[in-house]
Structure 1
Amino acid sequence: MLVIVGIVLFFVGLLLSIAWHELGHLLTAKMFGVKVTQYMVGFGRTVWSRKTAETEYGVKLIPFGGFIRMIGMFPPKRDEEYGRTASSAPWRVMIEDAREAAAEEVTPEDAHRQFYQRKPWKRIIVMAAGPIMNLILAVLIFAGILMGYGKAELTTSVSSISECVVSADAQDKGTCPPGAPPSPAAAAGFRPGDKIVEFDGKPYGSWTELQKAIRGSAGSVPIVVERGDQRLTLHADLIQDRQPALDDPKRTEVVGFLGLSPDQVMVRQDVGGVVRTIGGFVSLTAQKIVELPQRVPDLISAIGGQERSADSPVGIVGASRIGGEVLSMDQVSVGARLITMLNLLAAVNLSLFVMNMLPILPLDGGHIAGALWESVRRGFAKLVRRPDPGPFDTARLMPLAYGVTLIFIAYSLLVLVADVVNPVTLM
């Protein structure tokens, strides 16, 4: 039951994120006098709608996105008064059909309220407002969690000790095989709760730096720990073992091995910590989006029955399922579950921001790039005293937009099938 509730709650959160995105476009378009005829969440057949003044607000059947419809997205042809240039080329048909569809919505009384007529900086604001709304929502959620609840940070205190040495290449890393030697930490007498204050004669207050020192050491090393009110010196004989690399867990390397895991605590972040953390999230999100084409073989393999990696791309269905799984976790508190769901929702909004800012049509970033190019062209023409080249004709890029749309649809269907037949799980 909790899984279903979690799926519904997270799905509603995703729909609200989409509506929030489109609200940014809607408000800024109206602010600059552009006529908006539709504000819709979803695609396909209209399930519910209500018209207020000049705009129809509604919900459509397929809840995988949303849109607003502004009049005059494309400028008219330069040679419009001389008649239409006939051409049977498929790309020319696409261009002219898109231009005609946009022109049909323009009535004489609204001829001055078309999108293409606005200055480039205004069009940039309108198109960037949607992704920025997602960024604002993600920042607010992340900031609230980081400043109010905290961020998990590893400490130099010991959480658990490995009983034996098990190589990273072993099939079952959770058990000690017969004859496996005890880990250096176990042999040295480490206990959970010990706080490491010195390693090989040097003080360490950060797990990151201590971990690097451990991995770069071998042989007998004195380690000073605080155990209750006592300060003890333990002697561990570090060995060289193959372990996952810090920069790429999928790769292994031979490093010094002690055999313990650090404890972690929740640390509330200040404004600087929030900025650094969210900046890291944005960078990681951009990296994952760039890697999306590389994940196609993994998705196909997952559909075929192979194990699906935890960082595999997921769609609305997969993300909602993860949300349901999070809410049903009995081993963690209700508060921690809600925090995790909010983190997931913020991460989705961050992905929507980064994805939509890509400078390709039909994404918002494609329209932004077109307006920027128009500004550059007009500025250059003015500088060299040439005639104004006029608005940039984004209609000419519609064949590319259609191609990108087909790729997005195909990728989305691939992810959807993977989410249904072999979903990403946290358990």
Structure 2
Amino acid sequence: MVIIDLIQQAFGFIVPLAILLGLLIFVHELGHFSVAKFFGVRVETFSIGFGKKIWERTKGDTTYCLSLIPFGGYVKMYGDDPTADIPESEKQYSFLHKSVWQRIGVVLAGPLMNFFFAILVFALIALVGEDKPIAKVGEIQPGTAAHIMGLQAGDEILKVNGKSVSLMEEVQSLVEKNANAKITMTIKRHGSEQEMELQGETLIVENPNILSTEKMVGSLEGLQFMPTASMVGIDQPDSIAAQKGLATGSLITEVDGVKLQRWYELEYLMNKAISENKSFTLKFKVDQNAEEQSVQLNAQEDAFKNLKEFGIHPLDLFVGSVVDESAAKAAGLQKNDHITAIDGNEISHWSELVNRVRAYEEDKQPLALKVVRAGEELNMEMSPKPVLQKDPVTGMEKKVYAIGITTSLMGAPPVLTLVRSSNVLEVIKRGFVDSYNWSVTTVLSFWKLLTNQVSAKSIGGPLMIGQLASQSMAVGLSAFLKIMGIISINLFILNLLPLPVLDGGHLLFYTIEVIRGKPVSMRVLEVAQTFGLVLLLSLMVFATYNDFARFLGFL
């Protein structure tokens, strides 16, 4: 069954992968081809792909073809074999008989075309437009700096330190630049037109973005932009909510005629309807795949004054699953149990539970959890166990304490807005700036891999690229173009690495030729090319292994 799923997914990747890689390979080889022709080099073959030719057409001196193996391409130039005997009359068309600077130009043109193409792609994204999250608070962790300054989920941030903002990334950037300092935010609260000014303080923390050049950045503790879904937990089987047909995991989709997706929307709309003492309709799905149901409610008639009295809670502290042979399993914790307190302190957010468990010391007393199960309050003790946890960004494993449960909580999409530019200069600037930024990020990622700051398990091959291409194409044109631009930058950097068989290897040998005044010996070239080929093939095999291991759940 796994093999069938793998084949089905592979076929689903083919079209987007063919479009993405085909275009990027074509652009790269077009760079070599165009500059070679400009310098008078005879180009014998222009191929997209390697191996057996499945289509070809000859025009002039050049045969254009598509080959069976699509992961690359090549331009075959007359006279690129140093062992070939070139007649004197043909030397003017021979690649190796061109000046070293012309050869450098031909080789360098491929990677540079990928860079220029990325500029074009990112400029096109700016022109077409890209959906980005607005500056709206998704979640606030209790007891944190963001909570103390008065921020609430659903607040729309209008200004940071007097500077107008409209996007989540703008807020994050300003917070990161203001480390260990007082910060002022002007906000508009959900459902109100009145603006409020809030003051707080940022911390200085290690940058969670390991591919950034900034090691330390500012952080407003507890501020989260990703909202949680409007899913509810129910721990009392005789509650009003349970009697109306809701259950733990139910997704509320509409309140009083207003559709919703996020918990803060649910909280606001329910409290508004309750305060108005009127009848209203609540629509929900018992689970993600169930049909939508509808119930009529009236807070006065049904005798509830808030969400708790109605019988619903945020879902994050309801147990989603329990790991076998874990501390939670041994203590008797079960799916849908509602954790309400730890060591005598009431908790209301998943982060509070995680932080307390992570801070556990092995020689201390077991943690005391208060749990509500089907209306019955239970007390449990458990000692967290050290486990290896993989960092989702770096792929590196680290030891943390865990009790062996997952939350039932699910995220919801942030509110998006279309960001586009009709100003030509702004579009061009965006193309250059994004290409530069992604180039820096790519170089840093290679360096972190080499220095083992990022796990080699994060390296992906054709399946990963196909998956990214397929997923981004399903999202929309801008998302697909963004992946194309990023991979084009990766090809630009990768091909400049000074490894034999890559463009960077040829550039290295030509640079040595410029310094020495004569070419590198044939023996050195042969050894280097063999080494480079083995290294490249090994990397391709390793990347493909990672793809399959990731799909099968081994990574």
Provide the C-alpha distance between the structure 2 equivalents of 1:281 and 1:48, rounded to a whole number of angstroms. 35
Structure 2 CA distance for partners of 1:217 and 1:196, relative to 1, 3 Å: farther
| Offset at residue 298 of structure 1 (A) | 3.7
> Equivalent pairs: percent with the same residue?
22
Match of residue 90, structure 2, among 99, 110, 135 = 110
2:466 paired residue among 303, 320, 341: 320
Q: Which moved more, 1:49-58 or 1:125-134?
A: 49-58
Amino acid of the structure 2 residue aligned with 1:38: T
Q: Which moved more, 1:40-49 or 1:416-425?
A: 416-425
Alignment deviations for residues 39-80 of structure 1 (CA, whole Å, 9 cap, x no partner): 222222333333334333222222221112223335xxxxxx
Match of 1:406 among 534, 545, 551: 534
The TM-score normalised by the length of structure 1 is 0.67
State the AA in 2 paired with 1:44.
G
Deviations 1:311-344 (A, max 9, x none): x22223320122123334xxxxxxx522111111
Matches within 5 A, 1:304-343: 312-328=458-474, 336-343=475-482
Deviation at 1:255, TM superposition (A): 6.3
Question: Which of residues 161, 185, 190 is equivalent to 2:147?
Answer: 185
Task: Please say if residues 35 and 110 of structure 1, whose CA atoms lie closer than 8 Å, have aligned partners that are also in contact.
Answer: no
Structure 2 matches for 1:201-280, cutoff 5 A? 202-205=161-164, 207-208=171-172, 210-212=174-176, 216=180, 224-227=186-189, 228-234=192-198, 245-248=207-210, 257-261=221-225, 265-268=417-420, 270=426, 271-280=428-437
Look up the match of 1:134: 114
1:18 to 11, 16, 25: 25
- 1:90-105 alignment, distance < 5 Å: 99-100=82-83, 103=84
SS in 2 for 1:319: helix
Give the 3-state SS of the residue equivalent to 1:26 in structure 2: helix
1:68 aligns with 75
Instruction: Tell me the SS of whatever aligns to 1:342.
Output: helix
Are the structure 2 counterparts of residues 25 and 248 from structure 1 closer, same or farther at C-alpha, using a change threshold of 3 Å?
A: closer
Q: Distance in 2 between matches of 1:264 and 1:215?
A: 27
Local SS of the residue matching 2:55: strand
Which amino acid is the alignment partner of residue 14 of structure 1?
A: L
CA separation in 2, counterparts of 1:235 and 1:30? 64
**Over alpha carbons, which structure has the higher Rg?**
2
Partner Cα distance (2:153, 2:122) in 1: 35
The whole-number CA distance in structure 1 between the counterparts of 2:153 and 2:449 is 43
Shift of the alpha carbon at 1:351?
A: 1.2
Structure 2: distance between partners of 1:41 and 1:211: 46
Could you tell me which residue of structure 2 aligns to residue 194 of structure 1? 156
Q: Which residue of 2 aligns with 1:119?
A: 99
- Opposite residue 371 of structure 1, the aligned amino acid is Y
Q: Deviations over 1:169-227 (max 9, x none)?
A: xxxxxxxxxxxx688538936351433546xxx53445246524886369xx9865344
Aligned partners of 2:472, 2:541: CA distance in 1, in Å? 24
Task: Spell out, residue by residue over 1:293-322, the C-alpha distance to the aligned partner (whole angstroms, 9 max, x if none).
Answer: 4569944xx5xxxxxxxxx22223320122
Q: CA deviation digits over 1:1-31, x for unaligned, max 9?
A: 9995554123232023212222222232223
Pair 1:146-2:108 in alignment: no
Instruction: Confirm or deny: 8 A CA contact 1:322 1:424 kept in the other structure.
Output: no
Give the paired residue count: 344
1:28-39 correspondence runs (5 A): 28-39=35-46
Q: How big is the alpha-carbon RMSD for the aligned residues of Structure 1 and Structure 2?
A: 3.9
- How far apart, in 2, do the equivalents of 1:10 and 1:188 lie? 47
Taking a change above 3 Å as real, the CA distance of residues 151 and 280 of structure 1, as seen in their structure-2 partners, is: farther
Letter in 1 for 2:470: G
Aligned partners of 1:35 and 1:114 also within 8 Å: yes
User: Which secondary structure does the structure 2 equivalent of 1:367 belong to?
Assistant: helix
Provide the C-alpha distance between the structure 2 equivalents of 1:183 and 1:313, rounded to a whole number of angstroms.
Answer: 37
Greater strand fraction, Structure 1 or Structure 2? 2
Asked if 1:351 corresponds to 2:351, the answer is no
TM-score by length of 2: 0.53
Distance 1:50 1:246, change over 3 A: same
> Alpha-carbon deviation of 1:265?
4.8
d(CA) in 2 for partners of 1:187, 1:279: 37
Equivalent position SS for 1:188: coil
> What letter is aligned with 1:374?
E
Gaps of 5+ in 1: 75-98, 166-180, 303-311, 329-335, 379-389
Higher relative contact order (CA 8 A, sep 6+): 1
Give me the whole-angstrom Cα distance separating, in 1, the residues matched to 2:77 and 2:177. 59
Structure 1 residues 262-271 or 359-368, which shifts more? 262-271
Cα distance, 1:136 vs. partner? 2.1
Alpha carbons of 1:266 and 1:216: their partners in 2 closer, same or farther (altered >3 Å)? farther
Partner letter of residue 230 of structure 1? Answer: Q
The counterpart of 1:420, out of the listed 534, 543, 548, is 548
What does residue 314 of structure 2 align with?
none
User: For 1:275 and 1:34, how far apart are their aligned partners in 2?
Assistant: 31
**Unmatched 5+ residue regions in structure 2?**
1-7, 165-169, 227-414
Q: Is the 8 A contact 1:4 1:324 kept in 2?
A: no
Q: Given residue 161 of structure 1, which amino acid in structure 2 is its aligned partner?
A: E
Q: 2:505 aligns with which of 366, 370, 382?
A: 366
Instruction: Give CA-to-partner distance per residue, 1:225-276, whole Å, 9 cap, x none.
Output: 344432334577x798x98734539999996524343877554461334322
Pairing partner for 2:442 from 281, 285, 300: 285
Secondary structure at the aligned position of 1:257 is classed as: coil
